[in-house]
């Protein structure tokens, strides 16, 4: 892995932890987004990484984009360019061939909330607050929030959050389906790492195909999605990991997948 100014990277048992560190609030500045973009290019090709955990340094997760940078934008063209950069980086995160777990350790607002919506699994501590406050600045969520939020929690609830700019707590976010778990503060990274290691112990070919089906199938007609499911199931039946999984089950032991 490369050296980064704003990112901390560690790998343990095929789980990579990415810590975003831009004190005090871990703003998604252009420089931070650029580093995340380069990191994602590398981790997508790393055979030693099967799961990615994202978290923030300090007491915040990410409280949004860099408002000073937004204030310095000159006209529509520069605004569009800034939005497209955020959309591109977050889209790349969403399309990674490995699962991503957002370990939300504090306030998760604006661009931070847009970033975690692209993750596979989202867990947060009970102290965290969520929201899309862009309307308070006379702008809109420009890193994909207007599209991903309604898809996650429904149109009415998403519009309420985006049109009022109000924050919600972690328990409300869990009830809405924005996150899957609201946990005591001390448990977030422990739970995230436990989930990640459990997933990392599974077969990479199966992981990749499940991700692909879940992401792509929802936008297909059901018959086409089922046809794709059958095709990818068939592909897995030709893998060494499938043979190992079945053998381990019959022998009443844990499988030792080789990701082949």
Tokens of residue 6, six digits? 């704003």
Active site includes 229?
no
Per annotation, catalytic residue among 69, 81, 126, 134 = 134
How far is it, in rounded angstroms, from Cα 132 to Cα 162?
A: 5
- Describe the chain by its helix, strand, coil percentages, rounded to 5: 50, 15, 35
Is the sign of the CA dihedral 169, 174, 180, 186 positive or negative? positive
Active site includes 12?
no
How far is it, in rounded angstroms, from Cα 236 to Cα 209?
A: 9
Burial of residue 170 (CB within 10 Å: 0-12, 13-18, 19+) is: buried
Per annotation, catalytic residue among 69, 114, 208, 244 = 114
Residues acting as catalytic residues? 114, 134
């Amino acid at each position: 892995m490369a050296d980064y100014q704003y990112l901390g990277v560690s790998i343990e048992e095929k789980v990579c932890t990415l810590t975003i560190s831009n004190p005090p609030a871990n703003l998604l500045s252009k420089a931070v987004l650029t580093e995340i973009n380069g990191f994602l290019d590398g981790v997508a090709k790393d055979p030693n990484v099967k799961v990615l955990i994202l978290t923030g340094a300090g007491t915040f997760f990410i409280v949004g984009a860099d408002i000073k940078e937004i204030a310095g934008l000159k006209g529509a063209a520069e605004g569009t360019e800034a939005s497209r950069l955020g959309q591109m980086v977050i889209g790349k995160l969403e399309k990674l061939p490995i699962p991503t777990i957002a370990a939300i350790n504090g306030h998760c607002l604006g661009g931070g909330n847009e970033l975690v919506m692209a993750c596979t699994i989202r867990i947060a501590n009970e102290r965290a607050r969520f929201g899309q406050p862009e309307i308070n600045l006379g702008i809109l969520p420009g890193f994909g929030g207007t599209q991903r939020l309604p898809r996650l929690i429904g149109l009415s609830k998403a519009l309420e959050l985006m049109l009022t700019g109000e924050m919600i707590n972690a328990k409300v976010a869990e009830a809405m389906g924005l996150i899957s778990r609201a946990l005591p503060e001390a448990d977030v990274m422990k739970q995230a790492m436990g989930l990640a290691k459990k997933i990392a112990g599974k077969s990479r070919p199966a992981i990749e195909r499940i991700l692909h089906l879940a992401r792509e199938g929802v936008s297909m007609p059901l018959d086409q999605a089922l046809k794709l499911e059958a095709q990818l199931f068939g592909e897995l039946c030709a893998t060494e990991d499938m043979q190992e999984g079945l053998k381990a089950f019959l022998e009443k032991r844990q499988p030792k997948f080789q990701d082949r």
